[in-house]
Amino acid sequence: MARTQRLFTLMQILRRHRYPVTAQVLAQELEISVRTLYRDIATLQAQGAHIEGEAGLGYVLRPDFVLPPLMFSQEEIEALVLGARWVGSHTDKPLGQAATDALAKIAAVLPAEARHLLDSTTLLIPARQQDDRWQAELRQAMRAERKVLVDYADAQGRASQRILWPFALGYFEQVRVVVAWCELRQDFRHFRVDRILSLQLQNDHFPQRRANLLAQWRAEHLHRPREVEQVRVDETGEDSQTGNG
């Protein structure tokens, strides 16, 4: 294995571990000597990687490290570009711009040859017209774990007002669906974003953490068979992902 590729692989291994990993374990996975491992750790630290630890105790990569100028494989570069282009074409403008900015930051630390691959990939995402209303506001509410007050219309145009705890946003091919706890129904519900008539961010926070809500929803809903690309409106007016039509 070339040294540049070995350094990149070492970074990937360290990213997988939240707690210190001994030099012996790292060296064994890379199939190198412990002495070589120590030299590689020192090289990465000199290039800006925040690797903490020492011989005999183990090493851990802190999350606020500066990305060293390491190589991505061609397929990894293609995946990054394709993902950024999809986000730019299928989400709201702030999220699309964030994807473009993230790609630019990655390009800034890539060697010239890898930057060329980044610019020349021919995996394309067709442009599409879409209504991106409320997506940025919903993502803000989810990050802050704050309730929202929405006016919502069902498929028949019947409007209702709800207090929601939004904790997930699904990007399906034709629609965007927010997954939330509905205070009116006292249950998890799925709402099509394009049917939200108005939305107001509230000062009240969720009584539970977003991660807990997501775990409960997964336990209750993900085992149920459904057509994930379709949504229907049930008799209560909420959107559900449990059928067609």
- Residue 130 in domain: no
Mean pLDDT for back-to-back runs of 10 residues, the chain (245 residues): 80 83 91 92 85 83 60 79 86 86 78 74 74 87 95 90 95 89 94 94 94 91 51 43 33
> Does residue 161 sit in the same domain as residue 201?
yes
> Does residue 236 sit in the same domain as residue 139?
yes
> Does residue 44 sit in the same domain as residue 109?
no
* Domain range enclosing 115: 74-120
Query: 72, exposed or middle or buried, with CB in 10 Å at 0-12, 13-18, 19+?
Result: middle
Q: Using CA atoms, how far apart are residues 234 and 154, in angstroms rounded to an integer? A: 9
Q: What is the pLDDT of residue 240?
A: 52
- What total of structural domains would you count in the chain? 3
Q: What is the pLDDT of residue 138?
A: 95
Paired strand residues for 161? 151
> Does residue 107 sit in the same domain as residue 147?
no
CATH code of residue 17? 1.10.10.10
Give CA separation, 196 vs 44, 142, 224, in Å.
49, 16, 26
Q: What is the pLDDT of residue 244?
A: 30
> Does residue 228 sit in the same domain as residue 206?
yes
> Does residue 156 sit in the same domain as residue 194?
yes
Residue 102 CB partners (closer than 8 Å, separation 6+) = 84
**Contact predicate 177/239, CB 8 Å:** yes
pTM of structure:
0.58
Indicate the residue among 61, 90, 111 that finishes a domain.
61
> Does residue 145 sit in the same domain as residue 203?
yes
> Does residue 113 sit in the same domain as residue 166?
no
> Does residue 39 sit in the same domain as residue 102?
no
Q: Using CA atoms, how far apart are residues 32 and 168, in angstroms rounded to an integer? A: 43
> Does residue 171 sit in the same domain as residue 148?
yes
**Contact predicate 51/45, CB 8 Å:** yes
> Does residue 202 sit in the same domain as residue 227?
yes
**Contact predicate 20/59, CB 8 Å:** yes
> Does residue 164 sit in the same domain as residue 188?
yes
Q: Using CA atoms, how far apart are residues 91 and 97, in angstroms rounded to an integer? A: 10
